[in-house]
A and B are shown apart, each in its own frame.
Chain A
Amino acid sequence: MTSYTQEDDEHYRGEFGAGYEVGSFPKDFVYGPDDPDQDLTQIFAPDQKPKILLMGLRRSGKSSIQKVVFHKMTPNETLFLESTNKIESENISNSSFVQFKILDFPGQIDFFEPSFDSEKIFGGHGTLVFVIDAQDDYMEALTRLHQTVLRAHKVNPHLRFEVFIHKVDGLSDDTKIETQRDIHQRVNDELSDAGMEQIHLSFYLTSIYDHSIFEAFSKVVQKLIPQLPTLENLLNIFISNSGIEKAFLFDVLSKIYIATDSSPVDMQSYELCCEMIDVVIDISDIYGKADGMQVPFDKDSSSIIKLNNATVLYLREVSRYLALVCILREDNFDRQGLIDYNFLCFRNGIQEVFDVHTSQLQQLTHSTSPHLQTNGPTS
């Protein structure tokens, strides 16, 4: 008779703790193998990757968000998504800056029950995104949000909290504003009643039927990038010296922007840039040479689109799956040579950020000031 030892039991017991991480959705959108030319610098050691926890009541739209943003699922296809029955974990490493783990939770299960290893689930560096279905009565969701925030904060005081007021596509503009105000009010009241004012929550109005979900997710991801201030600074220097109005650093695969200059973002220009990326990818997909890459985007990818309102969209590749998209006035585009030169400086600057990171994190702040040639006052 084969003997079963206690070790087997040990093994299974060990598995349980980690059980929720086994497997994940079959990936219908697989990222290609690393391009040897393009150095994909690892910002985080594999185990310290930040995580994004998608939580919220059942049917609030967590899986839909994950599928739409990271798997290019169309919003309508989400109608047929199965209800999630276990924590689905997925590694996202699109580019050097976009590296994290997404955990999609089933809405029905209370993961603070003692049978779950809450340390393991909520520990570490990361963000908890709580999704609220705004088309439904949200009182239950708010109760759950409150509990979740308190308990997760207790387990891991460093966890960030973001609240997506989701499915706002069905609401009128007035209702949106009113809903956000109401939710904000109630949640903060409850938190201060519990004596937990120090916990900060950010609120976003989102929907998978427009770009709001990408925008909101961008903000969430940006907070996980330690070099964000440097990147923003670089972008500021770049646009002010090149006569550019707005510039976004995009993750081409998910269309979330990981940094922008410090001028305010308006939704329209963000959407415009998203559309531009779609155009570039689609055209390269059709006419580019098929070299096995999942997404036809490489070193030489660039594009100029002139709009009829005297605006130019200019896209350049920065590094693997990272693109810079700029919006500028047509007159300023006369000096394209200058812009290109500054762009090279900018790209080198980004490269230095990687290099510096690889060598030593501390020096990050000093060594990243690139020397841009100043653009003279434009006539």
Chain B
Amino acid sequence: MNAIVSICHFCELHGPRVVFCTQAFRDLPDFDALTGVEAPPVIGSRLGHHEGQPEESDLWKYGRNLKDNPAEMKNGTPNETCVACRSFPHTQPGFISNDDSAKVSYVTSQYPLQSELYSLVHLACIRSLSCEVCPGKEGPIYFGDEARGHVLSYTFFLQDVQARGFQRWYSIMVLMKDKMLLLNSWPFIVRHLKQTISHLQESASKIYESEESKVSHRALRSAIMNDNYRRQRVAGQPRSLSELVGDEQVWSGLHSSFTWLLKAGGLRLQERLVEGPPVTQLIMDGSESSGTNLNVRELYSKIGPYTFNRLTHHLLIGRQIIVRGSSANAVSTVVQSLQPLIPKHCFKAINFSPHYIDSASCNILGLHSLVKVPLSVLATGNICVLELFAKESTGESGTQSNIPRVSTISNHSLSAQEEIHRIKSSLQEKEMKNADFSELLKSYNIQISQEGTLPAKPPQLLNRIETALSNTTLTPATLMVYLSTILYEWINKVKVWMQVQNANKTIPPEQRYPVSSQSTITRTPSIPILRSPVHQPFLSRSPVLSGSLTAGILEAPTNSQDNSRHQLLSALGATEWDVPLLEFWAQKFHPNSV
């Protein structure tokens, strides 16, 4: 995970201060492979090696090509500190852990080691503790923007008898360049931080209680105050975090915790640029067929929620919809009215055809009621036949009702071709008004006569379409905007779905994810480093936050296929029931994309 995890403290003497922060460093090639950017000639990640500090160079194995000029660094960082706002007595690495399998070094220091990152973190620290806070409230919040980075900040208090208000403000911040990644990792990060924090709080409370039990600091403070003789400062003396929680090892514990977070966070989700077909072509644009678009609501009220539900379910998961009826006009209008329900690239309709056409060529087909659907097609179960019965005959019994229809149809079928032509042009020329459409539908009864079996549950999208259609307070224009918005949303999911599926095909699984579960993370023990104050100017580069802006998130599948699919679905906000939809839409993408 390309992030900086840091601890900030509102010091009673110095205000908001960055106390501790952990970063991940990688060697350049790896880093560039990740972002897909052409790697510049490797200037040698070890360029910075100098005989002066052999120990540290050995300890810090990866991505050590960046190094700020120490003099330059000094300018940015505050020169005045006290024990409360300090974790290490210097601005050099305090802890380093190397992950040899992933070639990453996790480095912890008081301030970020690159001055441009320092100012970002410092700014975020002020916001985290002195701007974006609710008084007296603990908990995670988000703030940020592209320029200053996106921040998850978790505010908490630690009890302390010496603090002016008997508690001190701290926050843990996760700062990233990628907002989507941050927000998508939110539950994971928050869960982990909460654990770390409650651990700190418990320890601090224990210390607090034991100190209070010796003497009440409240009473003590009042007593000293009332004693008018040279009043002394009883509160507000700075104390370090390790003193607050009574644990000398607290810093190395936090280093491990943050390293784990960065490592595990990176395994869960990775940022990658997702390229899909441009979205603009994917939804019918309103101008072309605005008149007919509106008819979907008429259709909905005509056929009723139940039939509509099944019809649309078939449609969304890629079954062929066959609309049969005696009037070419009515049939083709119904066919066209389905258009707003699916993306343009999935809408292959034939308004009225004299013979059956297979599902490869069209997924919505208008047929004359005399035309037979081949039995072989019916047998596949991949269709749904919607029948338009003329009204006059419906009152009578089923067998009789067929007779008048047959006669009408035979008349028309002679001129079917002409009819089709006429309708096509009329549809293009004049837009059909809602009223006309409902008028037209009035003379028919519409039913599903044959259909394949449906999955037990429809895709989520169907539910939303229905809710929208049944909401009569929406104006037609709003409804259209809404429908296309939810389609866009799912098109985006389909893109991600495709991308991952393709990736799975091309890369053998073992290579992709060398470490797959949290327990197998390899971590070299953290080693505190005592640094000599000698520095050499090194090449400066910040790999950690210079990552490209990503358009989407990819879920990294783990070894088990099922598990990965599950993870992907949950990352998409989709369920098992959406898979037929995803696959159908994805399959239709292919001609345009990749």
Contact = CB atoms under 8 A, between A and B. Distances in A.
Interface of A: 1-4, 9, 12-13, 15-16, 19-20, 22-26, 58-59, 76, 79-83, 85-86, 88, 106, 108-109, 115, 135, 170
Given A2-B489, A25-B135, A135-B231, A58 B225 contact: no
B143 to A, nearest CB: 5
B130 A85 contact: yes
Contacts of B552: 1
B218 A108 contact: no
A9 B183 CA distance: 13
B111 interface: no
Contacts of A16: 127, 131-132, 143
Nearest to B228: A170
B74 interface: no
18 contacts: A1-B493, A1-B552, A4-B183, A12-B143, A19-B131, A23-B134, A58-B13, A59-B12, A80-B221, A81-B164, A83-B12, A83-B236, A85-B15, A85-B16, A85-B133, A85-B169, A108-B13, A115-B123
Nearest to A12: B143
Contact of A1 (B10, B11, B129, B572): B572
Given A23-B134, A86-B130, A3 B14 contact: no
A164 to B, nearest CB: 18
Given A1-B572, A108-B15, A83 B10 contact: yes
Contacts of B13: 58, 108
A26 B143 CA distance: 24
Contacts of A26: 135-136
Contact of A59 (B135, B163, B236, B489): B236
A376 to B, nearest CB: 52
Given A24-B135, A109-B16, A4 B180 contact: yes
A109 B127 contact: no
Interface centre among B130, B145, B231 (most CB of A within 10 A): B130
Contact of B11 (A80, A82, A108): A108
Interface in B113-167: 123, 126-127, 129-136, 143-146, 163-167
Contacts of B231: 135, 170
Contacts of B136: 26
Instruction: Give chain B's interface residue range (CB within 8 Å of chain A).
Output: 35 or more
Contact of A2 (B133, B221, B573): B573
A4 B550 CA distance: 13
B496 interface: yes
Nearest to B142: A12
A86 B491 CA distance: 44
B492 interface: yes
Given A2-B573, A15-B132, A80-B164, 11 more contacts: A1-B552, A12-B144, A16-B131, A19-B127, A20-B130, A24-B135, A80-B218, A82-B166, A108-B14, A135-B231, A170-B228
A9 B145 contact: yes
Contact of A82 (B134, B163, B225, B496): B163
Nearest to A6: B146
Given A58-B12, A108-B11, A109-B15, A19 B132 contact: yes
Contacts of B235: 79
Nearest to A18: B131
A158 B572 CA distance: 56
Contacts of A58: 12-13, 15
A135 to B, nearest CB: 7
Interface of B: 10-16, 123, 126-127, 129-136, 143-146, 163-167, 169, 179-180, 183, 218, 221-222, 225, 228, 231, 235-236, 488-489, 492-493, 496, 552-553, 572-573
Contacts of A3: 488-489, 492
Nearest to B184: A1
A80 B179 CA distance: 40
B572 A86 contact: no
A88 B16 CA distance: 16
Contacts of B145: 9, 12-13
B225 A79 contact: yes
Contacts of B135: 23-26, 86, 88
Nearest to A167: B231
A135 B228 CA distance: 12
Contacts of B572: 1
Q: With a 10 A CB-CB cut-off, give which of B127, B131, B133, B134 has the most chain A CB atoms.
A: B131
A86 B493 CA distance: 42
A4 B553 CA distance: 13
A83 to B, nearest CB: 5
A278 to B, nearest CB: 22
A108 B15 CA distance: 5
A4 B164 CA distance: 41
Contacts of A22: 132, 134
A270 B81 CA distance: 45
A85 B14 CA distance: 11
Contacts of B143: 12, 15-16
Contacts of A19: 127, 131-132
A26 B127 CA distance: 21
